[in-house]
Amino acid sequence: MKRAVLTLALLLATPTVYADANDPAAAQALFDEGRKLVLEGNCEAAIPKFTASHKLDPSPGPLLNLADCLAKTGRTASAWARFREAASMLKAAGQNDRAAFARQRADELEPSLARLTVRSSEPNVEVLRDGAVLDGAVLGVAVPVDPGAHEIEARAPGKLPYRKRVEVAASASVSVEIPKLADAPIAPAPVADTSSSRRTVAILVGSAGVVGLGFGAAFGLGAASQWSDAKKSCEGTVCDRAGFDAANAAQTSAVRSNIAFALGGVALAAGVVLWITAPSAPRVGVAPGVGTLSVVGRF
9: nearest Cα among 37, 31, 34, 39: 39
Cα separation of 251 and 270, whole Å?
29
Judge whether 253 and 220 are in contact, CB under 8 Å: yes
pLDDT of residue 103: 97
pLDDT digits (tens, 9 = 90+) for 2-33: 434 434 444 555 555 444 457 899 999 999 99
Least confident range of 104-113, 196-205, 223-232, 262-271:
223-232
Helix extents (H) in 40-138: 43-56, 60-72, 76-92, 96-109
With a cut of 70, say whether residue 289 has pLDDT above it. Answer: no
Chain centroid offset of residue 270 CA: 47
pLDDT digits (tens, 9 = 90+) for 54-77: 999 999 999 999 999 999 999 999
* Orientation of helix 96-109 relative to helix 2-13, angle to 10°: 110
DSSP code at position 179: P
Percent of the chain with pLDDT over 90: 53
Confidence band for 293, pLDDT divided at 50, 70 and 90: very low
**Count of CB atoms situated within 10 Å of the CB of 15:** 21
Instruction: Report the pLDDT averaged over residues 259-263.
Output: 76
Judge whether 117 and 175 are in contact, CB under 8 Å: yes
Q: How do the residues of the chain divide into helix, strand and coil, expressed in percent and rounded to 5? A: 55, 20, 25
Q: Look at residue 108 and give its three-state secondary structure.
A: helix
pTM confidence score: 0.59
